[in-house]
Amino acid sequence: MSAVIESHDHEHHHGPAEGLTRWLYTTNHKDIGTLYLWFSFAMFLIGGAMAMVIRAELFQPGMQIVEPEFYNQMLTLHGLIMVFGAVMPAFVGLANWLIPMMVGAPDMALPRMNNLSFWILPFAFFILLSSLFMEGGAPNFGWTFYAPLSTTYAPPSVTFFIFSVHILGASSIMGAINVVVTIMNMRAPGMTLMKMPLFVWSWLITAYLLIAVMPVLAGAVTMMLMDIHFGTSFFNAAGGGDPVLFQHIFWFFGHPEVYIMILPAFGITSHIIETFSRKQLFGHTSMVWAMTSIAILSFVVWAHHMFTVGLPLAAELFFMWATMLIAVPTGVKVFNWVTTMFRGSITYETPMLFAIAFVVLFTIGGFSGLMLAITPADFQYHDTYFVVAHFHYVLVPGAIFSIMAAVYYWIPKWTGNMYDERLGRLHFWLSFIGVNVTFFPQHWIGLAGMPRRVPDYALQFADWNMVSSVGAFLFGASQILFLFIVIKTVMGGKKATPEVWEGSRGLEWTVDSPAPYHTFTTPPKVT
């Protein structure tokens, strides 16, 4: 834009452009945040629809709705879409919206790259989803795509899957670099690192994890590509390769990836509990150290996903002990949240309900995680529904509840309107009941011996599978309500004040609601 326009009509320059090009060309962190959030919501609904197919098939023993090969495509795409399409972009969207406002910066440090890192995402998922209509079907080897099932024995669409993962990786790395550069260079004067809000801290750590491990994932899929098309044998035993090597590489990416999906949730929860307890967060410094330790430990525990591949005893012991250690910093975080509530002055608006549910249910997922760390017991748990229950507890009422909490918490700042509190609470209770009815019984059927990733099961698992499916349908349906609430809030509602919440703390609450298109063009002073 030219300086001439600015001098003529200062206000006009600061508003968004009109029409579709506003979104295509935008370099505004708030617009890009909005794009990310809507995109992730769309993916959440698509991935959720696939989960509904899975639960419908498992409603009763026997094959009813789909064939086993389509079932495997559903469970693969469900996992990939939820991880890379729903959870990660939602956190990037929140980072875009909030980090500049929280550190008092006018925008992200690299706005054009920001635009690019969003706009390549829809193409990646278009490619991935189009594989459903290809000959041989979509990827069917699980979101962990173990070789050689994903190489020698894969459907032809695996090549499109690899391309899609490359694009996703590029997008994530660009997003992560943007976050690091913004936080390191654009904080308002006076905002030292230790004064930084915890959401910003959690994202700084997450961004470093992303930069460290996304290239590893890119390496893994590139080796697959070579094996499939260029005659190499990285993972092909018949050619002297090593199928276990694939798992080492994958999980060296995969375990930090798990924390990429939970660290920002820690940040969000800290803000919400602090606000609605009307009391400063307990142990801000120890929260930072806990997240840092979790991130560092995440690089030395990957083989706990591989306890049954035949590792030597020394390796099994090391990875067991290292994994158990993660419980210490995670415990510190939970204790800090509880202590923040202790002798606070608490109210239960929707964001707080989601945040409390996050703490309780994430902790339950943490407990089952600790159980899974015990190697001899893991021999019985591994690849059963117990594992499915475990990671869904940390991802659904964990990561996804925190995202929902964040949406309710900050949507008045984004839209200038309050959401409908009664509907919000209804959405919470339906989701809370749905998620527990879905996933809690899965602990039992897993312990009783039902393997994961099966389209059909023995009769003793029938009852609780049915209960689990009913819960899943309830949880799935309640997300339509969420969509309705968000749209209703965007369209209108009670006007929000700049502070929005009585106990809110932080720079984002000092600007108007809705936040102006450009905020902090002159940096605020932080004391």
Partner 1 sequence: MFKKIINSINNKLSAVLLLIFSSKSFAAWDDLNMTEGVTAISKEVFDLHMLIYWICVVIGILVFGVMFYSMFAFTKKKNPTPSKFHENTKVELVWTIVPFLILVLMAVPASNTLTKIYDDTEGDINIQVIGYQWKWEYKYLDDKIGFFSNLTTDWDEIYNKTPKGEFYLEEVDEPVVIPVGKKIRFLITANDVIHSWWMPDFAIKQDAIPGFINTAWTIVDKPGTYRGKCTELCGKNHGFMPVVVKVVPQEEYDLWVISKKEEAFKMAELTQKEWSAEELIERGEGVYQKNCVACHQVNGQGIPPIFPALAGSDIVLNNKAKHIEILMEGVQGAAMQSFANQLSEVDMAAVITYTRRSWGNAEKGDGEIVTPKDIVEYKKPKV
Q: Which residues in the 178-197 window bind partner 1 by CB under 8 A?
A: none
Indicate which single residue of 65, 324, 481, 526 sits in contact with partner 1 (rule: CB under 8 A). Answer: 324
368 vs 519, which CB is nearer to partner 1?
368
- CB neighbour burial string for 143-178, b if at least 16 within 10 angstroms, e if fewer: bbbbbbbbbbebbebbbbbbbbbbbbbbbbbbbbbb
Q: Phi and psi for 307 in degrees, rounded to 5? A: -60, -25
Active site residue 255: yes
Token duo for residue 184: 């390191």
- Going by C-alpha positions, the residue among 195, 3, 33 that lies closest to residue 519 is 33
User: Is the CB of 74 or the CB of 214 nearer to partner 1?
Assistant: 74
User: On the CB side of 320, how many CA atoms lie within 13 Å of its CA?
Assistant: 17
Distance in Å, CB of 239 to partner 1, minimum: 10
Please, which of residues 70-129 interact with partner 1 by CB under 8 A? 72
Between 401-415 and 29-57, two packed helices, what is the crossing angle to 10 degrees?
A: 150
143 is catalytic: yes
Which is closer to partner 1, CB of 185 or CB of 347? 347
SS3 451: strand
Listed ranges 198-206, 218-226, 250-258, 316-324: which one lies at the site for partner 1 (CB under 8 A): 316-324
Nearest to residue 406, comparing CAs of 460, 352, 342, 370? 352
Instruction: Mark 348-387 with x for binding to partner 1 (rule: CB under 8 A) and - for no binding.
Output: --------x--xx--xx--x--xx--xxxx-xx-xxx---
One residue of 453, 488, 505, 518 binding partner 1 per CB under 8 A: 453
Instruction: Kindly state the helix (H) or strand (E) to which residue 82 belongs, with its residue range.
Output: none
Q: Segment contacting partner 1 (CB under 8 A): 87-95, 425-433, 441-449, 484-492? A: 441-449
Catalytic residue among 23, 201, 259, 409: 259
Does the protein bind partner 1 through residue 454 (CB under 8 A)?
yes
370 close to 324: Cβ distance less than 8 angstroms: yes
Q: Does 429 bind partner 1 (CB under 8 A)?
A: no
Q: Give the integer Cα–Cα distance in Å for 200 and 443.
A: 34
Rounded CA separation 309/367 (Å)? 24
Categorise residue 145: left if φ over 0, alpha if ψ from -120 to 50, beta otherwise. left
Q: How far apart are CA 433 and CA 435, in angstroms?
A: 6
The yes-or-no answer on residue 38 being catalytic is: no
In the residue annotation, 257 being an active-site residue is answered as: yes
* Nearest residue (CB) to partner 1, 175 versus 329: 329
Number of shown-chain residues binding partner 1 (CB under 8 A): 99
Toward partner 1, which CB reaches closer, 61 or 122? 61
Nearer to partner 1, 49 or 237 (CB): 237
Stretch (H or E) spanning 501: none
Candidates 166, 271, 279, 304; catalytic one: 304
| Residue that is written with structure tokens 């339509």 in the block | 480
Closest separation in Å from C-beta 8 to partner 1: 50
Q: Is 271 a catalytic residue?
A: no
User: Is 270 annotated in the active site?
Assistant: yes
| Residue range at the interface with partner 1 (CB under 8 A); choices 13-21, 122-130, 193-201, 335-343 | 335-343
List the interface residues with partner 1, window 218-247 (CB under 8 A).
237-238, 241-244
Q: Does the footprint of partner 1 cover residue 61 (CB under 8 A)? A: yes
For partner 1, the closer of residues 178 and 436 by Cβ is 436
* Cβ closest to partner 1, residue 266 vs residue 282: 282
Closest approach of partner 1 to the CB of residue 111, in Å: 36
* Burial of 240 per CB tally in 10 Å (0-12, 13-18, 19+): exposed
Please list, in sequence order, all residues whose beta carbon lies within 8 angstroms of the beta carbon of residue 420, skipping any fewer than 6 positions away: 485, 488, 489, 493
Of 345, 422, 480, 525, which lies in the binding site for partner 1, with binding defined by CB under 8 A? 345
Q: What is the full DSSP assignment across 266-312?
A: HHHHHHHHHHHHTSPPTTHHHHHHHHHHHHHHTTS-GGGG-TTS---
Q: How far is the CB of 414 from partner 1 (least distance, A)?
A: 26
Q: Which amino acid is at 105?
A: A
Of residues 137-166, those binding partner 1 (CB under 8 A)? 140-142, 146, 148-149, 152-153, 155-156
Q: Which of 448, 474, 483, 511 binds partner 1 (CB under 8 A)?
A: 448
Q: Give catalytic residues, as residue numbers.
A: 78, 107, 143, 171-172, 255, 257, 259, 270, 304-305, 330, 333, 452
